[in-house]
Chain A
Amino acid sequence: MRGAATLFLTLYLLHTLVAEVNSTLSGFHVWLFAGGLFVTYSALAMPFRQGFAASLLGGLLCDAVSPVAFGTHAVLFGAAHAVVFNLRERLQRDETLVRVVVALLVNIALFLALALMRVKPAHLGAGAWPRLLSDLAWSEAVVALVAPWFFALQLRSLELARAKPWRLA
């Protein structure tokens, strides 16, 4: 499980960076969500067990700092991982562009799923949707910009940990 641990460390770094950026942007009421990046690489490039474990651990990390039922992010990330893993043989998954597109789509799906789950408990009305859609648009832009760097970081980390999957060797 060295691969899962290595990927989890990269997810921890990503989580820290996103949290710091969100803290800085708080004055503008802009909030970034990068859930797609927590799932995409491990689902496209890793063997199932290692990738699935990394996605679940990344989800638990997000759950720990969010006022949601503990396990919400983990289940959503796990479901997204299972779907992407099932589809990956039909994709040119070694292409960075394909990975970025998958990350963007997964990010939209996870954000909307979280939004639908949170709107009622958070007592949000219809007036909340412009803000939600605005946050989604900003998040997609940031994910598109950051994804190539982050995938390269994950690959390099796996190389350093000597846990690179055979297909990418």
Chain B
Amino acid sequence: MRIGRSQRFDQARPFVALGIAVAAWFAAPTAFKAAVRASFFEMTAPVAAAASYANDLQRFWALRLHSKDELIEAGRDMARLNASYTLSVQQNGELESEIARLQALLKMPPIEGFHFEHSRVVRRDFSSWWQRMVIRKGSDYGIPVGAPVVYSGGVVGRVAEVHAYTSVVQLTSDPGLRIAAVVDGDTRPISYQGGDNQVFGAPRGIIEFVPLDVYASATVPKRLATSGLGGVYPPGLTIGRITHVESSADGLFKTGEVELDPRISELTEVTVLVRDNPG
């Protein structure tokens, strides 16, 4: 009888230990859990950053293999781009001074300014449940939580976590990310949310509360841009292309699908927009 009890206890021992561990974890203070989480994350960061630097070095040596003719062609293209950007910078300066003059005239509050923090992408993590990437700048560069992240094609996402030397960016394709958006040429706000990302397919999102007079299809897509509402993203940044809209179940609005730029899944460098005057 005593042997039977002992055997039963031996069998139950792993589950008793699990129960004790779970109970201890629930009883632990939140600050302790946050500290443990941060410690474990920082433990993984150096290896991830080292792998990222190794990739950069590999790319550098690969570029060194290009012929001089290719370099000359690239330099010529770059010079042309520089010339057009220089012109754009001049026009931008004139427009900014015009805006400042009108703001002073109308006694409007100044438009919020951002400065850019360019950062390399350390690692991407695209599961069905979350779509995130780790970038190589963190609190050491003053990156704040919630800052918008952009690239040449538009919005990448927003900063979800900031660590000592790295930050985690939640992408626009993440099902948990919502953005107040507008259809190009329209001012009425609609709701954008990351969607299901199928294997070998382009990243996608969904839109809700679309006015009934908005039409779009795969052959005649419409550009979806940030509205500026909510205070996170500046207005006018491209989110994606609306490729399908249909009436919602209640008939009051439409819902639709948004195709995101496929480059968002392969980015190697992004820019974080950091507010000049936070708060």
Contacts and interface: CB of A to CB of B under 8 A. Distances in A.
B37 A19 contact: no
Given A29-B203, A30-B199, A65-B41, A70 B22 contact: no
Nearest to A119: B129
Given A48-B13, A60-B40, A64-B44, A127 B33 contact: no
A86 interface: yes
B43 A61 contact: yes
Given A61-B44, A128-B128, A131-B197, A78 B123 contact: no
A29 B25 contact: no
Interface in B148-178: 160, 170, 175-176
B36 interface: yes
A70 B265 CA distance: 26
Interface residues of A, number: 51
Q: What class of interface size applies to chain B in its complex with A? A: 35 or more
A82 B11 CA distance: 9
Interface in A131-162: 131-132, 134-135
A60 B18 CA distance: 14
Interface string B14-49: 110110011001000000011011111101100110
Interface of A: 12, 15-16, 19-20, 22-23, 26-31, 33, 48, 52, 56, 60-61, 63-67, 70-71, 74-75, 78-79, 81-83, 85-86, 114-115, 118-119, 121-125, 127-128, 130-132, 134-135
13 contacts: A30-B200, A31-B126, A31-B128, A48-B17, A64-B43, A67-B132, A75-B22, A81-B18, A122-B128, A122-B175, A123-B193, A131-B128, A131-B199
